[in-house]
C-alpha cells in the first residue's frame, strides 16, 4: 500500500468521485485535473488534506499542489481511482471543455501572441516615447514639438522609428510565424507568408483610407479577367491570422495527398502559393470591406442624433478594433471631421480607450504585486498604454486573463459616452493615452480631465473587484508556493544523487523490442561510440520509458525525439528515438516530462508514432548512450535479446 493512498482516496471523493474526473495528469509539483463539473470539488476540504499544499484553477484545469512527491501521489491516486492518466497536451486539450467559446478563442489568441510579447512591449515603449517628442505641441506657446525645436531629438525620433516600424508594421510576419510554430507546420513558410503581407510592392495599410483612383492605378494586379488591389497589411492582426491558418491547413492537406518522395518540392510550393493567393484575393479584401463598413458607421454615429449612445458603443468596441486592425480606418474620419468642423470628438474617445486598458493593467499590477515575473510584463505594458500604445497591454496582459480586457472596455464606454455628451473636442490626432489631453481644445480641458479620471478609476476598481473574486490576487502566493515546491524537488534530487553517487545500478528496457549492439546501429556517430558507451533497441512498441530512477536533465522542446536523464547514482544517459528524427520537428512525438522532473524506472517519457517515422524514411532503432559515467567503469549490455519495457534488465553499470 502506497503511503499516499489514504489521501489519494480522500482527494478522489472530494473532487466528486471517479465519474467527475474527465482526465488527469501531473507535472513536477501538481496534480492536474479536468473535472466534468468543477463546482462539485470541495476546495476547502481538499486544501486541508495533509499532502496538499494548495489548489487553484487555471485554463480549465483544477490543479492540486503536492510538492516534490507528486509522482508517488499520482501513482497512488491512479491505483485508488482506476483512472488512466494522459499526457499534459491531451489534458490541456480536454480542459477546453470547461471553457466557453470566447475563453477558448482568447486562449488561442494569447498562445499565438505569447512569443511576440517582448517585441510588442519594446515597440509600445518606443512609440509612446516618440509620441511625446514628435506629436506633443508643448514648446513655443504650444506651436512646436520637441523634435521641431531640437535637431538631436528629431534624429533620435527618426532612428527609433527603425525599431517601431519593424515591430508594428511588420507584425504580420511574427503572427504568421507564431501560428505556424503553434500548429507544428513549417515556420519559414509562415515567415515568408507574413513578408508577402507587408511587402514594399504593396500600398501601405495606413495609406489605403486616403487612396485615390490614381493611386489604385499604380497598385493593382490586372490579370485580364480580374483586377486585385495591391493592399499591404501593416500592423494588421486578423488578416495575418486568417492567412496563417490557411497556410497551416493547406500544408497539412498537401502532406496527406502528396507522395513522400515529392513532398519537399510540392508541399511548400502549393501550400505557400495558395495561402498567399487566399490572403490577397479573399481574406484581405474581406478585412478591408469590414473596415469600410466600420468607417461609415463611425462617421454616421459621431455626427448623428444618437452620438451619446454611439460614444458608449464606440468606447466599448474600440479595443477589439485594435485587435482586428480595423481601428486604422478611423484616422481618415478624424481628419475629415477636423477639416470640416475644426476639430474631432472621435480622437478623444480613442485616447480614453488607451487610458482605460492601461488602468485595467494597473489593476493587475496591484493584484499581482507579489509576482515579480508578471510585473516584468505588467509595468512596461501599463506605461506604453498610458502613452497611447495599447497592444502590449491588450495582448500581453488583458486578453490573457480576459476580465481586465472587459473591465477596460467598460470604463472606456462610460468615459466615451460622457466625452461626447460634454462635447470634448481635439484639435489633432496622434497623441493618445494620458498625453492626449494636450491635443484637446482649451474649452474641453477640464471636462476631458474628468473623463480621463473615469477612464482610470472605473477599469482599475472593476479589475480589482473581479480579480479578487477570481483569486488573481493570491495567484502570486500560489506560484511562489509552487516555485518553493519545485526548489524542494530539485534539492531532494540532489540529496538522492549525493547519497547514491557511485552505487551500481541495473537498467531496465526503455522500450519493448530486441536489444542491439550499438556498433551495429546504422549511424557512425552512435556506432563509433563518439558520444559514449551504450546500446540500442529495435522497438515493437511506441512509448519510451525511463530505464532507472533519475532526474530529467535534457529535453528537446521543438523535436521531442530525445531525452537526457541523470540517474540517481550520478550517471548521465541520453535516450534517442530513431535516426535523424530531429528533422521531423516534433511531428509524431509527444513528451510527458520536463526539465528537473524526477522519474521512476518504467515511467513514460516520450510517446512516438512509428508509422510517421517510417514514412519519413528514418530507422526506428532507439539508442541509450552513457554521456557521463559518473565515475563508473564496468558496463555490461545485452544483445540480441527480446525484452519488455520497464521489466527486463538490459544493462548493468558497476
- Cα–Cα distance, 354 to 106 (Å, whole number): 20
User: In what order do the strands lie in the sheet containing 54-58?
Assistant: 21-26, 30-35, 61-65, 54-58
Burial class of residue 578 (count of CB atoms within 10 Å of its CB; 0-12, 13-18, 19+): buried
Ramachandran angles phi, psi of 72, nearest 5°: -70, -40
- Cα–Cα distance, 260 to 244 (Å, whole number): 24
Residue 244: left if φ>0, alpha if ψ -120 to 50, beta else—which one? Answer: alpha
Which residues are within 8 A (CB) of 1 and not within 5 positions of it... i.e. 6 or more apart?
none
- Measured at the alpha carbon of residue 416, what is the angle toward residues 411 and 417, in degrees to the nearest 5? 105
Q: Are 506 and 651 in contact (CB under 8 A)?
A: yes
- Provide DSSP, 368-417: TTT-HHHHHHHHHHHHHHHTT--HHHIIIIIHHHSHHHHHHHHHHHHHHH
Whether 27 is catalytic: yes
Number of C-alpha atoms within 13 angstroms, CB side, residue 165?
A: 12
CA-nearest of 203, 205, 223 to 213 is 203
Q: Which three cell numbers stand for residue 625?
A: 548512450
Exactly one of 27, 147, 382, 424 is catalytic; name it: 27
DSSP 646: T
Which residues are within 8 A (CB) of 201 and not within 5 positions of it... i.e. 6 or more apart?
230
- Measured at the alpha carbon of residue 559, what is the angle toward residues 565 and 607, in degrees to the nearest 5? 65
What is the chain's Cα-based Rg? 29
- Measured at the alpha carbon of residue 442, what is the angle toward residues 438 and 445, in degrees to the nearest 5? 65
DSSP 576: E
Q: Which three cell numbers stand for residue 312?
A: 458608449
- Cα–Cα distance, 163 to 123 (Å, whole number): 7
Q: Which three cell numbers stand for residue 211?
A: 487612396
- Cα–Cα distance, 71 to 233 (Å, whole number): 49
Write down how long the chain is.
654
Residues forming beta bridges with residue 576, ordered by sequence position:
562, 623
- Cα–Cα distance, 613 to 620 (Å, whole number): 7
- Provide DSSP, 61-127: EEEEE--TTHHHHHHHHHHHH-PPP--HHHHHHHHGGGS-HHHHHHHHHHHHHGGGHHHHHHHHHHH
Residue that the C-alpha cell 513536477 belongs to: 28
The residues annotated with a catalytic role in the active site are 27
Amino acid at each position: 500500500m502506497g503511503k499516499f493512498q489514504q489521501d489519494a482516496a480522500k482527494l478522489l471523493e472530494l473532487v466528486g468521485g471517479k465519474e467527475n474526473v474527465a482526465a488527469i495528469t501531473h507535472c513536477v509539483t501538481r496534480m492536474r485535473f479536468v473535472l466534468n463539473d468543477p463546482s462539485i470539488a470541495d476546495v476547502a476540504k481538499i486544501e486541508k488534506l495533509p499532502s496538499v499544499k494548495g489548489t487553484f484553477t487555471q485554463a480549465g484545469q483544477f490543479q492540486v499542489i503536492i510538492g516534490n512527491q507528486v509522482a508517488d501521489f499520482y501513482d497512488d491516486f491512479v491505483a485508488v481511482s482506476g483512472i488512466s492518466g494522459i499526457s499534459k497536451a491531451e489534458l490541456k486539450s480536454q480542459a477546453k471543455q470547461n471553457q466557453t467559446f470566447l475563453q477558448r478563442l482568447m486562449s488561442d489568441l494569447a498562445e499565438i501572441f505569447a512569443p511576440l510579447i517582448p517585441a510588442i512591449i519594446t515597440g509600445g515603449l518606443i512609440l509612446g516615447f516618440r509620441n511625446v517628442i514628435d506629436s506633443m505641441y508643448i514648446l513655443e506657446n504650444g506651436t512646436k514639438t520637441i523634435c521641431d525645436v531640437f535637431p538631436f531629438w528629431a534624429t533620435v525620433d527618426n532612428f527609433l522609428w527603425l525599431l517601431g516600424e519593424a515591430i508594428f508594421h511588420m507584425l504580420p510576419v511574427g503572427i504568421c510565424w507564431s501560428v505556424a510554430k503553434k500548429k507544428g507546420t513549417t515556420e519559414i513558410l509562415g515567415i515568408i507568408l507574413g513578408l508577402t503581407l507587408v511587402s514594399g510592392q504593396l500600398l501601405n495599410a495606413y495609406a489605403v483610407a486616403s487612396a485615390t483612383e490614381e493611386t489604385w492605378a499604380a497598385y493593382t494586379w490586372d490579370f485580364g479577367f480580374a483586377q486585385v488591389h495591391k493592399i499591404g497589411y501593416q500592423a494588421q492582426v486578423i488578416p495575418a491570422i486568417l492567412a496563417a491558418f490557411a497556410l497551416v491547413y493547406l500544408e497539412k492537406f498537401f502532406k496527406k495527398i502528396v507522395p513522400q518522395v515529392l513532398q519537399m518540392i510540392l508541399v511548400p510550393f502549393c501550400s505557400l502559393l495558395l495561402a498567399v493567393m487566399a490572403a490577397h484575393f479573399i481574406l484581405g479584401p474581406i478585412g478591408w470591406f469590414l473596415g469600410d463598413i466600420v468607417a461609415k458607421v463611425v462617421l454616421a454615429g459621431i455626427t448623428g442624433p444618437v452620438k451619446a449612445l454611439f460614444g458608449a458603443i464606440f468606447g466599448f468596441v474600440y479595443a477589439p478594433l485594435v485587435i482586428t486592425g480595423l481601428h486604422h480606418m478611423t484616422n481618415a474620419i478624424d481628419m475629415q471631421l477636423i477639416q470640416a468642423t475644426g476639430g474631432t470628438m472621435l480622437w478623444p474617445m480613442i485616447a480614453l480607450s488607451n487610458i482605460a486598458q492601461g488602468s485595467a493593467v494597473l489593476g493587475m499590477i496591484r493584484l499581482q504585486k507579489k509576482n515579480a515575473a508578471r510585473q516584468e510584463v505588467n509595468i512596461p505594458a501599463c506605461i506604453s498604454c498610458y502613452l497611447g500604445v495599447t497592444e502590449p497591454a491588450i495582448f500581453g496582459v488583458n486578453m490573457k486573463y480576459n476580465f481586465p480586457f472587459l473591465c477596460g472596455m467598460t470604463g472606456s464606454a462610460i468615459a466615451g459616452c460622457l466625452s461626447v455628451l460634454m462635447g470634448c473636442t481635439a484639435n489633432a490626432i496622434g497623441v493618445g493615452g494620458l498625453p492626449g489631453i494636450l491635443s484637446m481644445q482649451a474649452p474641453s480641458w477640464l471636462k476631458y480631465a474628468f473623463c480621463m479620471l473615469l477612464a482610470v478609476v472605473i477599469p482599475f476598481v472593476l479589475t480589482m473587484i473581479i480579480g479578487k473574486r477570481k483569486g488573481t490576487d493570491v495567484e502570486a502566493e500560489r506560484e511562489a508556493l509552487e516555485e518553493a515546491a519545485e526548489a524542494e524537488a530539485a534539492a531532494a534530487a540532489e540529496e538522492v544523487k549525493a547519497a547514491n553517487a557511485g552505487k551500481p545500478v541495473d537498467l531496465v528496457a526503455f522500450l519493448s523490442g530486441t536489444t542491439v549492439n550499438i556498433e551495429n546501429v546504422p549511424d557512425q556517430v552512435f556506432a563509433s561510440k563518439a558520444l559514449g558507451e551504450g546500446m540500442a533497441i529495435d522497438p515493437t512498441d511506441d512509448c519510451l520509458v525511463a530505464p532507472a530512477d533519475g532526474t530529467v536533465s535534457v529535453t528537446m522542446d521543438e523535436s521531442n525525439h530525445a531525452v537526457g536523464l541523470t540517474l540517481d547514482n550520478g550517471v548521465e544517459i541520453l535516450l534517442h528515438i530513431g535516426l535523424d528524427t530531429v528533422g521531423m520537428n516534433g511531428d509524431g512525438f509527444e513528451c510527458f516530462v520536463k526539465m528537473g522532473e524526477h522519474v521512476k524506472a518504467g515511467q513514460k517519457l516520450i510517446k512516438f508514432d512509428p508509422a510517421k517515422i517510417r514514412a519519413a524514411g528514418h530507422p526506428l532503432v532507439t539508442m541509450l548512450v552513457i554521456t557521463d559515467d559518473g565515475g563508473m567503469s564496468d558496463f555490461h549490455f545485452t544483445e540480441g535479446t527480446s525484452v519488455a519495457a520497464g521489466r527486463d534488465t538490459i544493462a548493468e553499470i558497476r
